[in-house]
Chain A
Amino acid sequence: MSANEILAGEHFLNGDVACAEGAIAAGCRLFAGYPITPQSEITERMAYRLPKIGGDFLQMEDELASIAAILGAAWGGMKAMTATSGPGFSLMMENIGLGIMTETPCVIVDVQRGGPSTGLPTATSQGDMMQARWGTHGDHEIIAYAPASPQEMFDLTIKAFNQSERFRQPVLIMTDEVVGHMMERVVIDPDKIEIYPRRKPTVPYEQFLPFKGGSDLVPAMACAGEGYRVHVTGLTHDERGYPDLSVDSQHRLITRLLDKIRKNADEIIELEEENVHGADVVLVTYGITARTSLRAMELAQGKGIKVGMLRLISVWPFPTAAVHAIAGEVKGIVVPELNMGQMVREVERAAAGQTRVRLVPHAGGGLHRPEDILAAIEEVAR
């Protein structure tokens, strides 16, 4: 990849465009998508940019096809992405499962809007957080990031591609309409961008087991036409990739697929702490809600309350140990979310009864008023 294909320099971009540019900087050369608000700027940017740099843009017939196409493109040797919002994200659940089962690297962006169903097409929400975690059927682990600014849309999209190659599974960007549409300064320095290359087999065809994990449980990937004649199936399979529908095979495969994420979770989990040590109250936040919470934190500090914030940059896998440790040291935890209570369940699980966990719900369509978050902080600090 040549550096002049990256949009280097300082720019004033919205989050959706920054996400598209991050994908290009990460080496994404195929985008398949279907129009849906509020992510259309990602799709339009890719349609404009990719042909200019030797990539491919595919407008598919629906989101079922979009995600199927990026899985196919990944096996064709490309880095590929799709982007959608709630209704399309629902349709993608089927092949997120295929991506996990066949260990296919790719990136899926969900610019969240109010739901269920058509809901609020043009207005924000964080209502898909649990769908991201559990939307596809069967046992699985998920990797997901929650950018809070256009700069993070750029940076975390690169990170999502790297993690998808590192762990060979689809990675989700769980953003929202406000971050997607807000315009801010984005600084892009090509020299600082690190790319994790696709892991290729190091042994000849006769010795290659395409679904045998290495020491980190992640297998090397042989793509179409490379001479490894790989069989890839969504059925339970053995290390050769051949269907094996036995109890033992299911146990072995599912355990490895879960463990490759669980045992390497430290490489994925990314948190930002502010004034957490010595705080009486800690806000646990992610995405746009972290930014409304900052104002609430200032207001609370002005009233003499010792309040800190733990921002989840990666939301899945959930940072259970970090939240558990904080819960043992504070009077209470406040969780503002643009939903009626999703990630708060994980916070409660991690806190394990050590402290009070107070949700600040919001049904979506707009952001929290900092005063509402402040009221929750004051209530918990009492």
Chain B
Amino acid sequence: MKRVQTKPAPEIVQDAHHPLEHYFRTERLPHIWCPGCGLGTAMSCLAAAFGELNLDVDDVSVVSGIGCSGRLAGYMRPDSYHTTHGRALPFATGLRVALEKIKPGNKVVVFSGDGDLFSIGGNHFIHAARRNIDITVLCVNNFNYGMTGGQIGPTTPLGSRGTTAPYGTFEHPFNLPYLAASSGAPYVARWTTMHVHRLQRAMVEAISRHGFTFVEIIAPCPTNYGRRNGLPTGLDEMRYYRDKAVIKNFADPKDAEIIPGEEFIVGTFVDKEKPDYFEIYDKFVNEHLRS
């Protein structure tokens, strides 16, 4: 029998603090998310990314819309704004532009779900990407409206079931990396919550780039999506990602479609230099006014 080397259990130290604790409103934990949900993993990755960037809590703001993902803003220590359904991006745009005057280079991270960002907020997404406003958008895509009980959304794969599609969806879903890339985003990546290190690295890259950066985070929702679609536990969905996710950097985002039962691409799709909103504003407006 092969012996497995395990790490010794860490010693419990009284009054010790987790090295990332200062990024959390610990008094609000535990969170409301279901067992098996991917949101906790995504939140951990975000805190780890903040830590890796050595970001001061007061140098970043977190903005969310409505839904399960929208609740993240309330668990993180930075100034955080839990706005209305779909409107996280325009709120974040006003916040980011105003803050540039007071704290140039401050970070604004929008963390929200697929329904919030791409159904009710879809128009705001394409316009924020077009403007190339310096905001990082992290979209947890769990393929359904979890908070309201498992209705289908704009990313639900064709044929999947939800409470509003008892016979399976009959509408084509969005391919989010393709949508983000064709709207002009200079950084586009997709990972699942199984790829924690790569996801964390993508968040670090997205936050440190200038301009509109986008990371799709494919995450399990066993309670409302997996259960109805043959993947009843979080672990089942993680195994599915292990078996079907194919890492391929700089693939054509057109090929990033998600079809149930078939392999799908994860990786960095776009990572390029492109002048952001503030640079262009300076070039056209300020130069004109200076002359």
Contact = CB atoms under 8 A, between A and B. Distances in A.
Given A52-B289, A65-B124, A233-B74, A77 B94 contact: no
Interface string B59-97: 101010000000001100111111110110111111111
A5 B275 CA distance: 30
Interface in A46-64: 51-52, 54, 56, 58, 60-62, 64
B18 interface: no
A229 B58 contact: yes
Q: Which of B84, B90, B124, B285 has the most CB of A within 10 A?
A: B90
Nearest to B277: A58
B166 to A, nearest CB: 30
A30 interface: yes
Given A225-B58, A242-B74, A76 B82 contact: no
Contacts of A225: 58-59, 61, 79, 99, 102-103, 106
B197 interface: no
Contact of B123 (A56, A61, A226): A61
B98 A78 contact: yes
Nearest to A106: B94
B82 to A, nearest CB: 4
Given A51-B289, A61-B123, A232-B81, A73 B94 contact: yes
A364 to B, nearest CB: 30
B7 interface: no
A83 interface: no
Contacts of B78: 229
B242 interface: no
Given A62-B123, A231-B73, A95 B84 contact: yes
A232 B82 contact: yes
A212 B84 CA distance: 22
A300 to B, nearest CB: 49
Contact of B101 (A54, A97, A230, A234): A54
Interface bracket on B: 35 or more
A79 B123 CA distance: 26
Interface in A65-82: 65-66, 68-78, 80
B258 interface: no
Given A62-B123, A225-B59, A225-B102, A30 B97 contact: yes
A61 B94 CA distance: 13
A322 interface: no
B28 interface: yes
B95 A229 contact: no
A56 B97 contact: yes
Interface string B182-196: 000000000000000
A75 to B, nearest CB: 6
Contacts of A116: none
A68 B84 contact: yes
Given A62-B123, A72-B90, A224 B101 contact: no
A227 interface: yes
Contact of B90 (A64, A77, A224): A64
A213 to B, nearest CB: 20
A235 interface: yes
A100 interface: no
B127 interface: yes
Given A95-B84, A229-B57, A71 B91 contact: yes
Interface string A202-225: 000000000000000000000111
B58 A227 contact: yes
Interface in B264-284: none
Contact of A233 (B82, B99, B285): B82
A231 B127 contact: no
Contacts of B84: 68, 94-95, 97-98, 234
A32 interface: yes
A234 B81 CA distance: 9
Contacts of A243: 74, 82
Contact of A76 (B90, B102, B124): B102
B28 A68 contact: no
A77 B106 CA distance: 13
A76 B80 contact: no
B25 interface: yes
A54 B282 CA distance: 11
B87 A80 contact: no
B90 A65 contact: yes
A72 B98 contact: yes
A232 B79 CA distance: 8
Nearest to B25: A231
A62 B81 CA distance: 21
Contacts of B59: 225
Given A61-B124, A228-B79, A68 B74 contact: no
10 contacts: A30-B94, A30-B97, A32-B94, A69-B93, A72-B63, A95-B84, A224-B61, A229-B78, A231-B80, A234-B82
Interface of A: 29-30, 32, 51-52, 54, 56, 58, 60-62, 64-66, 68-78, 80, 94-95, 97-98, 223-235, 242-243
